[in-house]
Each structure stands twice: as structure tokens, then as C-alpha cells.
Structure 1
């Protein structure tokens, strides 16, 4: 059990319960199902993101109506409008949305990999880790960007599956962070 104490708050500790093990096992099972159907998982995640953006945008627009003439009106109106348009585009064109998200993911992997490789040239102590991480990220980015159309069909589903698998395993192994109740000092 690892203790973490906030400067002016309660102490926290990683604690695993039977519920964490059950929930972690359900997450691992879900990850296996997701990884078995990555194309479907990609489509569902794109539609989920699209509907979330659309509903959030409409709510932001509605909230900004009540702020007419007040500070933050134009920001809320602009953000709500952009989210609404983004959500509409994603819901109406899920294939295009998946392609766009795949380009963003590939570019992010590539940029972070190049940045790590560059940082490795200046940091002698962490050079090995930076070269390894940078090399893997750069390679992933290039693989995604040079195989864009085949990556579009499954990349988001694979990323979702791997994330759910990692969450499930970590929950089963370590549990969750919980507040520790310390006895009152006498």
C-alpha cells in the first residue's frame, strides 16, 4: 500500500478491494471483446464522440443564451457553436471523422517521437529511455500515416482496447486511490 499525503488534506493510499478485482476483470473481458472487434469499436467510439460533442455544443449554446450581455457570453457562444458543428460533422460522416482522428493520432505519435529523439541528444541520463520511447513513437506515427486508410478502420478501436485492458489490469493489481481515515491524535 502506497501512502500519498496532500500538504493540507487527508492522506490517500492505493488500496485494492474485491470490488476492484471484479471491476478490473470486467474491464479486461471488455478489452478482449473490443480488441476482437476493432472496426466496430472504432465506429462506436467515433459516434460516441460525435454525439457527445453535439449534445455538449447544444447545451453550451443554451447556457450562453442566459449569459447575454455578461462576461463569457461570446466565448460560450463560440465554443458551443464549434462543438455543435463538430458533433454534426462527426455524426453525419463517421468515416471522415475516423480518418481525421487517425491523422491526428499519427501526427501526435510522430511529433512526440521526434521531440523525444531530440531531447535524447541533450539529456545524457535519460538518453536510453528517450531513444526507446522516441523511436517507438516515431515508428508508430510513420506506420499510421503511411497506412492511413487501413489504420483508419481499426486504430481507434485498438487504442481503446489497449487502454481498457491497461485500466483493468492496473485496477486488479493495485486497486484505486482512496482516502485513509487516520485516528484522532490524543
Structure 2
């Protein structure tokens, strides 16, 4: 077989699998959309839930990392691996013990991320304006929007910690759910 035939066969298999399981996509999409709307309506609660989830992720990853570090203690980099695992456990414990302070810290990180992402996107757009013709302006707009979001988050601290994470996660869940609903409905018809 050739590569184009393999790609065509793979695409038809994926399409068949989506058609066969369209109800699962629909249920997942509806659930994500509902969770997204709930996060948008109650952003502080969603922010705290997200912070606690992150805390558990760090804690569990740290415990697993610690176990793996001692299991493979003969490997080079033992001390760096040990420090990394202990830091993850510590970060998890702090986020779980003080989720409201964790929300503030994560909000600062998100604000800094949007600022850095915005600057990088603007620079990318300016660098590629000849190759991307009219489309480079959309990238420029996206970068400017990222910087504006960063400004709203950072300048509004500490108050923006009450809504930023929950709202952003909610919007992401809502759009992700809506896209899965669209995929499911299209697969049902096809």
C-alpha cells in the first residue's frame, strides 16, 4: 500500500468509528457544555475546584515520582529526581491546604502566560506577514487579544482571581462540548 491509500483507509476507519459511537460523543459534549456553563456561572467555585484538582495532580505525580526515584536510585540524576518529586508533593500539599491562595497564584501564572503568548503571537504574525498574506492580521489580532486578557487579569488582581480561571476553563469546556455535539450530530446524519 502507498501512503495516500493508508491515509484514506485510516480516515474511513475513523469516520466509521465516530458514526458508530456518535451517542457517546453527544453525551460527552452535553456534559462538557453543562460543566462549562456551570463554571461560567460560578467562576470562583470552578477556580477552587480546578486548583484542588491541580493540587491532587501534583501530589499524586510527586508520590509516583518519589517511588520511581527510589526504585531506580542507581540511575544518574537521583538527587535531581528526588528534588523534583519532593517539590511536586509540596506544591500539591500547598494547593490542597490553601486552595484560595492557590487560585491567586495560578491566576498570576495564567496572566503571565497570556502576556508571553500574546507577545510571541504578535512577533510570529509580523515575521510571517508576507507568507500569510491577509491571514497574518488574524494572528496579530489574536496576540493583541491575549495581551488585553493578560492586562485584565493582572491589573485586576487580587479580585480577578475570583473569576479568571473559572471563566477561562468554563469557556474552554463550553466550546469543547459544543464541538463534540457538532461532531456527534454530523456523524449521526452521515
TM-score range, shorter chain: 0.7 to 0.9
Structure 1 residues 88-112: Cα deviation after superposition (integer angstroms, max 9, x where no partner) = 2212222221111111111111111
- Size of the alignment, in residue pairs? 171
User: Does residue 70 of structure 1 match 2:69?
Assistant: no
The question of 1:158 aligning with 2:167 is answered yes
Q: TM-score, normalised by structure 2?
A: 0.80
Q: How far apart are the structure 1 equivalents of 2:97 and 2:23?
A: 43
> Whose helix fraction is larger, Structure 1's or Structure 2's?
2
The separation in 2 between residues aligned to 1:107 and 1:90, in whole angstroms, is 19
Measured in 2, the distance between the counterparts of 1:6 and 1:84 equals 48
List, as ranges, runs of 4+ consecutive aligned residues in structure 1 with deviation greater than 6 Å.
5-8
**Quick one: which of 146, 161, 165 aligns to 1:137?**
146
Query: Residue by residue, what CA displacement relative to the aligned partner does 1:56-104 show, whole Å, maximum 9, x if unpaired?
Result: 2122112211212234533432221110111122122222211111111
Q: TM-score when scaled to structure 1?
A: 0.81
Q: Gapped runs of 5+ residues in structure 1?
A: 176-186
User: Aligned residue for 2:93?
Assistant: 88
1:25 corresponds to which of 15, 30, 54: 30
Alignment gaps of 5+ in structure 2: 185-190
CA RMSD of aligned residues (A): 2.3
